[in-house]
Amino acid sequence: MRHFGHLGVDVRRRLFLVEPTPFDRHAPAATLATALGATLYLPATRRTLVADVRKQAARAVVSMVLCLEDAIADGEVAAAEANLVDGLRTLAGLGGSAGDLVGGESGGSAGGGLPLLFVRVRAPEQIGELVGRLGPASRLLSGFVLPKFTEENGGSYLEALADAELACGQRLFGMPVLEAPELAQLEHRRAELLGLATLLAKYRDRVLAVRLGVTDLCAAYGLRRSPELTAYDLALVAGVIGDVVNVFGRADGTGFTVTGPVWEYFPLGRTGPELTGLLREIELDRVNGLLGKTCVHPSQVPAVHASLVVGHEEYCDARDVLGGARQRGGGVVGSAYANKMNELKPHRAWAERVMGRAEVFGVARAGVGFAELFAACRDAEVRGGC
Helices (H), 136-185: 151-168, 181-184
Is 187 annotated in some ligand binding site?
A: yes
Per-residue exposure over 351-361, b if at least 16 CB sit within 10 Å of its own CB, e if not: bebbbbbbbbb
Q: How far apart are CA 232 and CA 230, in angstroms?
A: 5
pLDDT of residue 70: 94
Instruction: Give the pLDDT score at 371.
Output: 96
370 assigned to some structural domain: no
Mean pLDDT, rounded, for 342-371? 97
Whether residue 333 is contained in a domain is answered as no
Report whether pLDDT(106) > 60: no
CA distance 341 to 333: 6
Residue 90 pLDDT greater than 80, yes or no: yes
Query: Which bin fits 121, alpha (ψ -120 to 50), beta or left (φ > 0)?
Result: beta
User: Which tens digits make up the pLDDT trace of 28-50?
Assistant: 999 999 999 999 999 999 999 99
- Alpha-carbon gap, residue 212 to 196, rounded angstroms: 13
Residue 227: inside a domain, yes or no? yes
Give the predicted TM-score (pTM) of the model: 0.93
Nearest to 287 by CA among 276, 296, 275, 279: 279
Whether the per-residue pLDDT at 384 is higher than 80: the answer is no
Indicate which CATH number applies to the domain containing 249.
3.20.20.60
Separation CA 161–CA 271 (nearest Å): 42
* Beta carbons within 10 angstroms of residue 104's beta carbon: 19
Above pLDDT 70, what percent of the chain?
94
Measured CA to CA, the distance from residue 141 to residue 134 in angstroms comes to 10
In a domain, 296, yes or no: yes
Q: Quote the number of domains for the chain.
A: 1
Find out whether 228 is annotated in a ligand binding site: no
Q: Does residue 199 form part of some domain? A: yes
CA distances 178 to 68, 151, 173, 231, 344, Å, are 17, 10, 16, 15, 34
Does 43 sit behind a cis peptide bond, omega within 30 degrees of 0 on the bond before it?
Answer: no
Contact present, 289 and 249 (Cβ < 8 Å): yes
SS3 (DSSP) at 12:
helix
- 23 in any annotated domain: no
Query: Is 385 among the domain residues?
Result: no
Separation of alpha carbons 282 and 148, rounded Å: 23
* Better-scored residue on pLDDT, 386 or 361: 361
Q: Are 59 and 301 in contact (CB under 8 A)?
A: yes
Q: What does the pLDDT look like over 129-184, one tens digit per residue?
A: 999 999 999 999 999 999 999 999 999 999 999 999 999 999 999 999 999 999 99
Confidence of residue 82 (pLDDT cuts 50, 70, 90): very high
Is 379 annotated as contributing to ligand binding?
Answer: no
Query: Is there a domain that residue 382 lies in?
Result: no
Question: Which residue type sits at 316?
Answer: C
Residue 101 has pLDDT above 60, yes or no: no
Task: Tell me the average pLDDT of the chain.
Answer: 93
Structural domain boundaries enclosing 96:
28-308
